[in-house]
Amino acid sequence: MSVNLIVNIVLLIFTGFMAFRIFKMYGRNKLNQKMLNILDSFDNRDQFFHDADAFIEEHQGEEFSHKVCVLRLWGDAFYERDEEFRKHLGELNIDGLLNPDGKNKGYEVNEDSFFYLYLAIPNRMYYRNRDDLRSLMYEKMQAYDETNANALLKRICEENRHFYAHEGDRGKAYIQSLLEGEYGGFKYSRQLIGLYKHCEEAILAVILKDEGDQEGFEECMKNIDNFAHNTRLGKRWTKELGIEIQEEKEETETDEEKKEPSAEAEEPTAESKEQDTDE
């Protein structure tokens, strides 16, 4: 077999592989856009649940149907659909998020879904004083403690439980170390780490205020000012923690300027991140 023939065969195989990758990426981006459209309708309760249910029905058993199931679960928590929450939590297929293609790479591409499972939903239940439903959430995730042992979100969730339960230092020392960048050995999305830090610094602000450290509280609030004032997620998160945010008088803005500007500020989605493993 001539060298030229070997080279041509290798090039054909490589071209076919790249074409497959591009086709697969196109399909994923298309599904991701549909999911973003569903999330955009979140403020319209009926429309959100209608669109989410329709997507899940259309894509049953597929990776993105599991992702939208997580968004629907978040909607159940937010809109206080507690019976639906219990039902959908029981049905939730987390294995479909962790191992969608048989290669155990699901966490890396679906970390946005785990943000809701580990942080957003428990925080909403804390706000609603529904410790029973928050405990159900923890029980569901406990089955994946070993699988997600080195996931930063899981580690943060463990410390947040101390905060909600008023145990020990309520996670104060851990949050301070997180804000200083001490999370080596854990896997996390590089594009979402800023969001995690904002959420945790808001919790630290509450801890410091409860301890009577007004200066420390004000410093934390200064650091998360944009998150707390100008983002949908930040406004909701701080409200859930009982932090009163004084609305600032806004100057005239164009419609484009009023849109939430960054991945840190927005609801996390698969589109907004890349995985980074600091191990």
Residue 180 inside a domain? The answer is yes
Residues near 6 by beta carbon (within 8 Å), at least 6 away in sequence: none
Average pLDDT over residues 21-39: 73
> What domain count does the chain have?
2
Q: Confidence band (pLDDT; 50, 70, 90) for 11?
A: low
Same domain, 274 and 215: yes
* pLDDT on residue 61: 83
Residue 98 inside a domain? The answer is no
pLDDT at 238 over 80: yes
Same domain, 148 and 242: yes
Same domain, 81 and 187: no
Give residue-wise pLDDT tens across range 81-91: 999 999 999 99
**Can you give the residue range of the structural domain that contains 204?**
119-246+258-279
Which of 58 and 26 is assigned the larger pLDDT?
58
What type of residue sits at position 264? E
For Cα atoms 192, 231, 94, give the angle at the middle one, nearest 5 degrees.
45
Which region, left, alpha or beta, applies to residue 193 given φ > 0 means left and ψ of -120 to 50 means alpha? alpha
Q: How far apart are CA 154 and CA 115, in angstroms?
A: 9
Residue 252 inside a domain? The answer is no
Same domain, 174 and 264: yes
pTM: 0.82
Q: 10 Å Cβ neighbour count for 263?
A: 18
Give residue-wise pLDDT tens across range 135-181: 999 999 999 999 999 999 999 999 999 999 999 999 999 999 999 99
* pLDDT on residue 5: 59
